Amino acid sequence: MSIIDKLKELVGKNPDQAKGGVDKAGDAFDQRTGGKYADKVDEGQQKAKDYIDKSKPE
């Protein structure tokens, strides 16, 4: 099993924690860049969360 497969499995089991990680990473990036790219970061965060939602096992 590749590392990508392991990550997908973990995200599938813990989607709320994964979304929290996306938020934390984006916020940390915003802080380090002084919010210069906040709009792009927010867009990336939303796309990542949408992907997580789409990947959830039903």
State how far the Cα of 3 lies from the Cα of 6, in Å rounded to an integer.
5
- Residues 38-56: what's their mean pLDDT? 91
Higher pLDDT, 22 or 6: 22
State how far the Cα of 19 lies from the Cα of 46, in Å rounded to an integer.
9
Angle CA 1–16–3, to nearest 5: 15
State how far the Cα of 38 lies from the Cα of 10, in Å rounded to an integer.
28
Q: Quote the pLDDT of residue 31.
A: 96
Q: Is residue 56 very low, low, confident or very high in pLDDT (cuts 50, 70, 90)?
A: low
Give the percent of the chain with pLDDT over 90.
60
Alpha helix segments (H runs only) across 1-58: 3-13, 15-33, 38-55
